[in-house]
């Protein structure tokens, strides 16, 4: 058996064994990390783990604190959307970071988490899990996880960064409209996994990738593995700007985390996540 196959099966087995109990202690001990999720605050119910963590950050909570909820009553997605957050089957977690970097570099941390979530989920499940630029985690052409990063900063320094991640884990069905674009680990593999183990796997990957990111304070050291996980590469995409759109073929990312695209006239352009949205030529991916 090839070593990577062995690793996938062992990972899936580890994440699947035992009851799906989520407590702060369970998550901390399953992660076994140095600092990411070194302390966990667990809420059976929260409005939004990003909001809970922002309050804790303002009271001085440390780098690496992780807020986890079983369900959210006001889960928030990107671009002001709602993140549906039923209880008992998914992961809603927010990680507090206090990086000593310039505020304009912080959006790249979202890509670091996308890479870590994709890798951690691959460690737990035998599924072809990829990233849709910049930070959606995808399986079977549908969205498995989403990331919402929020920052508090002054002109030249960061007070804190909150990376909120929602992962569809054991959920067995979605409302009809959402089901067209959303999937879960269970729907992709037919297996339930233990959420605390999945969180641990993602946190271990994040800790490793964050160190690589901080060496250069950009995506230089992660570009290759991010690129290998990227589903857009070689595909036709629609670049949606606020007042126009165009078609192009996606390549990889550059060291700033921008997506490189080749326009129909052959010109290569780097597009920035804050300024454009990317869709597949005829659908979500
Ligand atoms: C997206 O729109 O893709 C981002 C979704 C982010 C959802 C997570 S769930 C944990 C954290 N708390 C929130 O309210 N949102 C993020």
262 close to ligand 1 (CB < 6 Angstrom): no
Look at domain 4-228 and name its CATH class.
alpha beta
Strand bridging mode 40-46 / 66-72: parallel
The continuous run of DSSP H or E covering 209 comes out as helix 195-216
48 close to ligand 1 (CB < 6 Angstrom): yes
- pTM equals 0.93
The burial of 266, by beta-carbon neighbours within 10 Å (0-12 exposed, 13-18 middle, 19 or more buried), is given as: exposed
> pLDDT tens digits, residue range 95-146?
999 999 999 999 999 999 999 999 999 999 999 999 999 999 999 999 999 9
Cα angle 275, 179, 162 (rounded to 5 degrees) comes to 45
146 close to ligand 1 (CB < 6 Angstrom): yes
**What span, in angstroms and rounded, lies between the C-alpha atoms of 124 and 199?**
10
CATH 3.30.930.10-classified regions of the chain:
4-228
> pLDDT tens digits, residue range 60-78?
999 999 999 999 999 999 9
> What's the CA-to-centroid distance between 24 and ligand 1, angstroms?
20
Q: Which residues contact 1 (CB under 8 A, 6 or more apart)?
A: none
CATH 2.30.30.100-classified regions of the chain:
232-280
Give domain 232-280's CATH number out of 3.40.1280.10, 3.20.20.70, 2.30.30.100, 1.10.1740.10.
2.30.30.100
75 close to ligand 1 (CB < 6 Angstrom): yes
Report which protein residue has its CA nearest ligand 1's atom 10.
92
Cβ atoms of 200 and 32 within 8 Å: the answer is yes
């Amino acid at each position: 058996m090839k070593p990577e196959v062995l690793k996938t099966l062992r990972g899936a087995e580890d994440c699947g064994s035992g009851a799906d109990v989520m407590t702060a202690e369970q998550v901390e001990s399953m992660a076994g990390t140095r600092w990411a999720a070194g302390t966990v605050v667990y809420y059976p119910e929260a409005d939004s783990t990003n909001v809970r963590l922002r309050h804790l950050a303002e009271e001085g909570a440390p780098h690496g604190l992780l807020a986890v909820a079983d369900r959210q009553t006001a889960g928030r997605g990107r671009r002001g959307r709602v993140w549906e957050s039923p209880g008992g089957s998914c992961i809603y977690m927010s990680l507090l970071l206090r990086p000593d970097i310039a505020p304009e570099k912080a959006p790249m941390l979202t890509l670091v988490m996308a890479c870590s979530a994709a890798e951690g989920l691959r460690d737990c499940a035998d599924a072809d899990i990829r990233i849709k630029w910049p930070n959606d985690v995808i399986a079977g052409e549908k969205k498995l996880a989403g990331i919402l990063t929020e920052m508090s900063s002054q002109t030249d320094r960061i007070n804190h960064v909150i990376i909120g991640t929602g992962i569809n884990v054991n959920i067995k069905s979605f409302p009809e409209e959402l089901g067209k674009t959303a999937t879960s680990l269970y729907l992709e593999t037919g297996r339930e996994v233990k959420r605390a183990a999945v969180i641990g796997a993602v946190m271990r990957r994040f800790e490793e990738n964050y160190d690589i990111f901080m060496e250069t304070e950009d995506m230089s050291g992660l570009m290759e593995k991010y690129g290998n996980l990227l589903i857009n590469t070689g595909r036709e995409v629609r670049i949606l700007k606020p007042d126009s759109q165009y078609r192009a073929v996606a390549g990889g990312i550059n060291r700033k985390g921008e997506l490189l695209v080749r326009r129909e006239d052959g010109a290569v352009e780097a597009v920035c996540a804050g300024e454009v949205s990317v869709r597949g030529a005829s659908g979500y991916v």
